[in-house]
Structure 1
Amino acid sequence: MDIELLRNFLEIARLGSMTKAASSLHISQPTLSVQMKSLEEVLGRKLFRKEGRNLVMTEEGELLERRAADIIGLTDKTLSEFRALSDSLGGDVRIGCAESVLIDHLALAVKKIKKKRPFLRCHITSGDTAIVTSILEQGLIDFAIIVEPPDLDRYDSIRIPGVDTWCAVIPEDSPLAAKKSLTFDYIKNEPIIMSKQSFLADLPRWCGSRRDELTIFGYLNLFYNGTRFVKNHMAILLTFAGLAESGNGLAVRPLSPALSNRMYIVWKKRQIFSPAARDLLEILRENAEKEPVNE
């Protein structure tokens, strides 16, 4: 399948109109229609159906949309890497990472490499371990930063110095705000919002089998969205300290006993890096070796 054909298909899917897509792509509508007919013949499936004036993807079209995004993303990354072979001042580095104050280590490494490569472009995708390792496996990113021990059979890794400590983000007018720290019994009857990964992997280290006594309001991947529910007195948020601060309607209190996580930078074994990604990895490794690891 031709990459440009897939790009054009995605534009139709995005706009829901052959006419709008043709205008956006600066080609004629008949040409675009012929391209999509050709693509459907190659695949042996209809990709769109008409609903009023709009084009809606079929189930097969939705499958192609997901695959096309992956194919184009990997193609663009490959082309970028080959262009970077002769680009000593720039290049692209793609990283998937969890939200954490320990990302400062990454930011400082990028800052250092920018002295050597002033035109470096750094692309960040945020998500939990399942999300970032999935796109790492697809080859769409160079590194993933995760908050649980890596699978050493699949990945090489660097341990990031320091730890993330858990806290609860609560409304500042909540009775819980009068507490210096929050125990399990203080929060067990409160609606809680947090990442599902942490609910499954981290809370048992804090409260053991009592985890299932908690009232779970819902799950999220990005902490900021959770703070909006806290401000509206709908739930309390469990997340890493440092991501939210007390004030502006919020109060932040540590959990008791303390709960903490380590972070790791991982990449696929036998992975081939672009020059820019290789430079960044060297700096991250040097920094990890220089700085003591705090438990």
Structure 2
Amino acid sequence: MELRILRYFLAVAREESISGAAEVLHLSQPTLSRQLMQLEKDLGKQLLIRGNRKVTLTDDGVLLKKRAMEILDLVEKTENEINSSDKIISGDIYIGSGESDAMHIIAKTIQKIQKNHPHIRFHLFSGNADDVGERLDKGLLDFGILIEPTNIKKYDYLKLPATDTWGLLMRKDSHLANKDTISPKDLDNIPLLCSRQSLVGNNISSWYGDNYEKLNIIATYNLIYNASIMVEEGIGYALCLDKLINTTGNSVLCFKPLNPSLVVNLNIVWKKSQIFSKAANAFLKQLQEDINLS
């Protein structure tokens, strides 16, 4: 499977039109059509549904689109690393992270790196631990910031000098808003939005105790911002980490920590035996210095 053909396929998926993609790619429509039919023949799968007005993807086409994007991202990342100058440290660093106030630590290190090595570019990917771990394992990320509990045995890592606190995000007019902390019994019979990570579920389950499965979980979320809108609209309460949503000033929301307190550590991880680019090495060295000074 040639990279060129994958780029052709992605162009068609993006334009939803063979003629439109051919124009973007500066190819004739018959040439592009032949290439796509040969791709389908080689894979033994139909990838495109060719309608009168637009082209849509089959389930196999959706899968190929996802993998093709990952492949081409990895190729671009590899080319950038190889083509980096020997004299000037440059290149791209890919960092994935769950939502955490600890990103301030990473941001301060990035600020120092950019001052000393202005040709280094950073690319941030936001997702939960499952998303970040998957991209790390595929080589699409150099580093991942993971919130415990996560399985970090397969990674090398640094413990970040920060912790996050679990609590309940709610409207300020909620009947629970006058409480200083939230106990397990406070969660009974209220609509909850929870992170979809299984490890987070286990963590909350251990805190809550027996009958966790009886909680009224009406929705799960990947990232807290959209969940906070659901809370703002009065749909429910979100179990989440502190300092991620603004609850000051005119905000209609407030955050109450759990009691007993549930505090988690954070680690920045990378693949074992990882061969870093000069840019990634410079970042890691600076981060280690910053952590040692904190």
TM-score over 0.5 (shorter chain): yes
Residue 14 of structure 2 corresponds to which residue in structure 1?
A: 14
CA distance in 1, matches of 2:45, 2:179: 61
Q: Tell me which residue corresponds to 1:119.
A: 119
Structure 2 residue aligned with 1:250, among 253, 256, 259? 253
Q: 2:175 and 2:87 mapped to 1: Cα distance? A: 57
Across the two proteins, how many residue pairs are aligned to each other? 291
Taking structure 2 as the reference length, the TM-score comes to 0.92
Cα distance in 2 for partners of 1:168, 1:150 equals 21
Equivalent residues in 2 for 1:140-159 (5 A)? 140-148=140-148, 151-159=151-159
The whole-number CA distance in structure 2 between the counterparts of 1:193 and 1:256 is 18
Bigger CA drift: 220-229 or 181-190? Answer: 181-190
What TM-score, normalized by structure 1, do the two folds share? 0.92
Report if the CA contact (8 A) 1:158-1:264 is conserved: yes
Residue 44 of structure 1 and its aligned partner are, at CA, apart by 3.2
| Structure 2 counterparts to residues 71-110 of structure 1, below 5 A | 71-86=71-86, 88-110=88-110
Structure 1: which 5+ runs fail to align? none
Describe how 1:1-295 pairs up with structure 2 within 5 A.
Answer: 1-86=1-86, 88-148=88-148, 151-197=151-197, 199-246=200-247, 247-291=250-294
Is the 8 Å Cα contact of residues 205 and 259 (structure 1) preserved in structure 2? Answer: no
Query: 1:70: Cα distance to partner?
Result: 1.9
Question: How far apart are residue 45 of structure 1 and its match?
Answer: 3.1
Q: Is the 8 A contact 1:49 1:57 kept in 2?
A: yes
CA distance 1:270–1:183, shift in 2 (3 Å): same
Distance in 2 (alpha carbons) for counterparts of 1:26 and 1:147? 46
CA deviation string 1:209-243 (max 9, x = no partner):
24223210111111110110011110111111111
**8 A contact 2:93–2:280 mirrored in 1:** yes
Distance 1:97 1:64, change over 3 A: same
Tell me how far 1:149 sits from its aligned partner. 5.1
Q: CA deviation at 1:255?
A: 1.5
Distance between the aligned counterparts of 2:185 and 2:214, measured in 1? 10
Question: Where in structure 2 are there 5+ consecutive unaligned residues?
Answer: none
1:109-140 Cα distance to aligned partner (Å, 9 max, x none): 11111111113211111111111010101100
**Identical-residue share of aligned pairs (%):** 36
Partner Cα separation in structure 1 for residue 131 and residue 113 of structure 2? 27
